A and B are shown apart, each in its own frame.
Chain A
Amino acid sequence: MTEKRVGRVVKVAGPVVVAEGMAGARMYDVVRVGQLNLIGEIVELRGDTASIQVYEETTGIGPGEPVLDTEASLSVELGPGLIESIYDGIQRPLDALVEREGEFMSRGSDVPGLNREKKWRFKPTVSEGTKVSPGDIIGEVDETTLMVHKIMVPPDISGTIKSISEGEFTVVDTVAVCVAEDGTEHELMMMQRWPVREPRPISRRLAPEKLLVSGQRVVDTFFPITKGGTACVPGPFGTGKTVVQHQLAKWVDADVVVYVGCGERGNEMTDVLTEFPELKDPRSGEPLMRRSVLIANTSNMPVAAREASVYTGITLAEYFRDMGYTVALMADSTSRWAEAMREISTRLEEMPAEEGYPAYLGARIAAFYERAGRVQCLGSPDREGGLSVIGAVSPPGGDLSDSVVQATLHVVKVFWSLKGELAYQRHFPAIDWLTSYSFYKQYLRGCFEDKDQGREMEKMTGAAMGLLEQESELVEIVRLVGAEALSPRDRLALETARSIREDYLHQNAFHEVDTYTSMEKQYEMLKTVLHFHHQGLEAIQAGAETADIFKLAVREDIARAKYVPQEEIDKIRRIRDTIEQQMKPLHSTAASK
């Protein structure tokens, strides 16, 4: 290896270190700082002095210590072994670190992202003599029972395959040799590297048109997200942002889930770690961990690595997308990422924009979400991949005028607004139906094989939303003049709206059955709730008292429909018959009066 550039530290202020003698270094080069060998990244260059954000605690570093320029930008290792891993913000495997250094994080550790010893069975999918270009799939590895890992030609290599072999290899063994047109030979291994701050190349972008089904009723029915779509979940603390994120990570119908815990609670990450291996994927019955990659940079871990963690996460996600998979990335919380940016910016003494955030905050957030999308992947065979990004935002005091929320709303297409009042009533998920929105609503009908059913579902969601809006107006009237002043029809509307809220939108994430609701069951449930409304309207027409309608025993069945398991879904259909049976006598008593 050539002689690496070595500078010396002149200033240390928290996570920012300034070094001189760094002439020739490039922005975002990774450096090793001091005797402790801390990992850092160059974020500013002035003449031959470089400002470095250090990914580890800097106590004990002082002027005069060496700074080594690795002359490479912050990159991640991509290849078999990513799935089921848990990494810190700069792709150091946390499980390997515990084994090596114990339960507390020490500094200067250097563990590669991919296990170098583990052997994988590589099966070529192309033969010798095949012409390959960047992104072409040359082989496969069964990484987990849920995951076939496609080995692709790195983005900077093309040529003819000279040799390729099947067998057991580590990620750094040569599996194929590729001869470029100019005759140079490239040894291809299963692992490749990619700089995290740069989007991975694609062939072209497509409009996201397919729903990413999450099994969460309020999400799927009212505010759906698509494969390749973007969403944000802002809300004050205690409104269940993390539970929403966890629920999505567990149940979305994606092939791969990348979960980035960015500056959040350690115990929450532990929860994910203990829960995912136990939870079963509703489609395959396999543990959910077999399709997940976790990145945990908790709030007490160094702030600069937090800044990097979302980039690390999205680069891994893009890599799986390039294989032709649907990937969902959850980032909890992007506010912590923004705060990390602000902290570094302050230490660099940059001129702040709003609330002390750097002026480039909006641009960085937009660029991050723009890495999502449904794409035509690079290379052959032809394949489509999708990357959905769901970012939690934690605005101070729950104030939606916060810079991070506003910058995020600027780019995302789905907005799930979490409301404190709902959370206090323990209405979860506390997604406010009046202020949330989704630009992907029109794709809801595509979820149903039966076109009529799809259209009906669309109509029903419209009707249900209408009732909820009506409720918000009626509640104002009730506040002013009392419930007695309402007409029977309005009273029924209020009751049905309540039923939609409590029996349909409210969903218990910790209930075995209720935690996931299939599209089919959502359809049946909503239909049943609205059926009661229509039958009620008819009964009122026939002269029945609203009080009698509200007292019908069937309402308890409607309320408990959410706990009916998928296999017994017929039971929900039968509730509709019961509604009719119980509603009938009201007609006749009314008539006899």
Chain B
Amino acid sequence: MLSVKEYQTVSNIQGPLMMVEMVDEAKYGHIVDIELGDGSIRHGQILQVENDKVLVQVFEGTSGIDVKNSKVRFLARPLEFGVSPDILGRVFSGLGVPKDDGPEIIPEKRLDINGQPINPYGRDYPNEFIQTGISTIDGLNPLVRGQKLPIFSGSGLPHDDLTAQLARQATVLGKGEAFAVVFAAMGITFEAAQFFIDDLHNTGAIERAVMFVNLANDPAIERIATPRFALTAAEYLAYDQGMHVLVILNDMTNYCEALREISAARKEVPGRRGYPGYLYTDLATIYERAGRIKGNKGSITMVPVLTMPEDDKTHPVPDLTGYITEGQIILSRSLARQGVSPPTDVLPSLSRLKDKGIGEGKTREDHASLYNQLYAAYARGKEMQELATIMGEAALSDEDRKYMEFANKFEDRYISQDYYENRSVFQTLDLGWELLSMFDNVDLKRIDLQLIEKYMTKYRTGKSKAKEAAD
């Protein structure tokens, strides 16, 4: 072990940053301990070194630190997390310190929380369908193992219920493999975090969960490290222990704001809305840690949650996230007002990896054509709904009205779903066929005729019989 050097040469303190002078042997990215005059310890990370001057970001904030009495120790290592199988079932702070009443973790090894990028050649393509029991995800935007699929939400929308349902119900068809949930809370309220913890308790899943909790009143700068701790734990569980890990990061908007705070304090040239120009790169180092590795059993599936300021999808945080993640599930305020729950805005939602995860042998042969048709019909129906609100229903042609009716039914029966209702993917698919049975073949251009025959017939016979009776 290297000898740890201690300095009392703090020169400036500004916002979350601290300048230490006359330091030798400081390395970029390494961590420091700061001992305050009263003996308490804070933690920091080196952001920049220039000759003997070192710029440190202080995770717990700088309030109470003084220039004269503070001692800074350079620990000559990057920020690390000590992992062992015992981390399962435990709750940690945003800086990876146990926060529950459990014993200290005796680490099997210590891992740099920044991880290392996965070599694209070493990746395995995610193609295993995860059944979430939620129709709008399973049927229209299927999630696969190793995918990163964020939930774009807004303040006051039920993303917590949706993520809890996801964590509760997600399984891979026909397999009972070891799984784990890693939950990172960044700047969310005690209530929101507790809701999630309670839910895990109630289902017994807490034994297989690791939590990193940085609440709204915890130091903001700590949030920069929180998702990295969570992902280090996830990588260990996935690639060392061969588990399938679901990582939930809630809420990424708070993370980005913390990053902006540091950037502003460093007086960097800001990009859009004051966020630093490297926000994309920084977010990528988090999101890209999801995935699968060739020849390794485990996988990391990631569901980041973020609240869009003013429900604006073009805000830098959702925007840059959408460019990195493999799709997005968007919640809509107008649907929520209509009482649709979960209010999934189906049209702009997307899962990019769906095509390889569905179809014969994975889900069912009709899956792809079916969701294409549902999308097309719902898009048209949605347009008609809007037209009807402007001009009145009477102005619509019979055909247009049929599409509107479809959209209404679709929102009512397909999108709406109880948070405790676990629909199998087959139930979801059949529901899709049932709803589409109101259309004639000529309107179902995106589905092969054989499939229509095979899956639609049972819903149509009822209809045509009723028609005959009416005639």
Residues of A with Cβ closer than 8 Å to B? 10-14, 18, 57-64, 86, 94-95, 97-98, 102-106, 236-238, 261, 263, 265-271, 273-274, 296, 298-301, 303, 336, 339-340, 342-343, 346, 352, 355-356, 394, 396-399, 420, 423-427, 479, 482-484, 502-503, 508, 510, 553, 555-556, 559-560, 563
> 1/0 per position for B306-349, CB-CB distance to A under 8 A?
00000001111001101110111000000000000000000110
Asked if residues A263 and B28 are in contact (CB atoms below 8 Å), the reply is no
Asked if residues A273 and B441 are in contact (CB atoms below 8 Å), the reply is no
| Residue numbers in A under 8 Å from B323 (CB-CB) | 237, 394
Query: What CA separation (Å) do A404 and B368 show in the bound complex?
Result: 35
Asked if residues A299 and B119 are in contact (CB atoms below 8 Å), the reply is no
Given pairs A62-B28, A237-B322, 19 additional interface contacts (CB within 8 A): A11-B48, A14-B278, A57-B114, A63-B26, A64-B25, A98-B119, A104-B122, A237-B328, A238-B327, A238-B348, A267-B123, A267-B147, A273-B120, A352-B269, A425-B376, A425-B380, A502-B445, A559-B445, A560-B445
| Residue numbers in B under 8 Å from A104 (CB-CB) | 115-119, 122
Partner among A63, A86, A340, A510 whose Cβ is within 8 Å of the Cβ of B121: A86
B391's nearest neighbour on chain A, judged by CB, is A482
Query: What CA separation (Å) do A355 and B314 show in the bound complex?
Result: 15
Q: Beyond A59-B29, A270-B125, is A105–B117 a contact (Cβ under 8 Å)?
A: yes
Asked if residues A339 and B288 are in contact (CB atoms below 8 Å), the reply is no
Is B233 part of the binding interface, using a Cβ–Cβ cutoff of 8 Å?
Answer: no
Inter-chain CB contacts under 8 Å: number:
223
Asked if residues A238 and B322 are in contact (CB atoms below 8 Å), the reply is yes
Q: Which of B199-225 contact A (CB under 8 A)?
A: none
Partner among B121, B324, B448 whose Cβ is within 8 Å of the Cβ of A273: B121
Asked if residues A424 and B379 are in contact (CB atoms below 8 Å), the reply is yes
B278's nearest neighbour on chain A, judged by CB, is A343
Query: What CA separation (Å) do A466 and B239 show in the bound complex?
Result: 57
Asked if residues A479 and B122 are in contact (CB atoms below 8 Å), the reply is no
> Chain A's nearest CB lies how many Å from the CB of B180?
20
Query: What CA separation (Å) do A479 and B49 show in the bound complex?
Result: 63
Asked if residues A271 and B27 are in contact (CB atoms below 8 Å), the reply is no
Is B442 part of the binding interface, using a Cβ–Cβ cutoff of 8 Å?
Answer: yes
Asked if residues B125 and A274 are in contact (CB atoms below 8 Å), the reply is yes
Asked if residues B28 and A12 are in contact (CB atoms below 8 Å), the reply is yes
> Chain A's nearest CB lies how many Å from the CB of B69?
26
Asked if residues B117 and A426 are in contact (CB atoms below 8 Å), the reply is no
Q: Which of B250-274 contact A (CB under 8 A)?
A: 268-272
Q: Which of B128-155 contact A (CB under 8 A)?
A: 146-147
Q: Beyond A298-B288, A300-B284, is A503–B445 a contact (Cβ under 8 Å)?
A: yes
Can you list 13 contacts pairing A with B, beta carbon distance less than 8 Å? A13-B47, A62-B28, A94-B122, A103-B293, A103-B296, A237-B319, A266-B120, A269-B120, A296-B120, A343-B278, A424-B348, A482-B391, A560-B445
Interface centre among B277, B296, B395, B400 (most CB of A within 10 A): B277
Query: What CA separation (Å) do A97 and B121 show in the bound complex?
Result: 9
B315's nearest neighbour on chain A, judged by CB, is A397
> Chain B's nearest CB lies how many Å from the CB of A13?
4
Is B243 part of the binding interface, using a Cβ–Cβ cutoff of 8 Å?
Answer: no
Asked if residues A60 and B353 are in contact (CB atoms below 8 Å), the reply is no
| Residue numbers in A under 8 Å from B228 (CB-CB) | none
Is B289 part of the binding interface, using a Cβ–Cβ cutoff of 8 Å?
Answer: yes
The 4 lowest CB-CB distance pairs between A and B, nearest first, are A397-B314, A59-B29, A103-B122, A299-B284
> 1/0 per position for B454-469, CB-CB distance to A under 8 A?
0000000000000000
| Residue numbers in B under 8 Å from A95 (CB-CB) | 121
| Residue numbers in B under 8 Å from A355 (CB-CB) | 271-272
Q: Beyond A60-B28, A267-B125, is A103–B119 a contact (Cβ under 8 Å)?
A: yes
| Residue numbers in B under 8 Å from A343 (CB-CB) | 277-278, 281
| Residue numbers in B under 8 Å from A346 (CB-CB) | 268-269, 277-278
Q: Beyond A61-B28, A425-B375, is A266–B316 a contact (Cβ under 8 Å)?
A: no
Query: What CA separation (Å) do A268 and B24 show in the bound complex?
Result: 43
> Chain B's nearest CB lies how many Å from the CB of A363?
19
Interface centre among A13, A105, A397, A426 (most CB of B within 10 A): A426
Query: What CA separation (Å) do A425 and B375 show in the bound complex?
Result: 6
Query: What CA separation (Å) do A12 and B466 show in the bound complex?
Result: 77
Asked if residues A60 and B29 are in contact (CB atoms below 8 Å), the reply is yes
Q: Which of B6-65 contact A (CB under 8 A)?
A: 24-30, 47-52
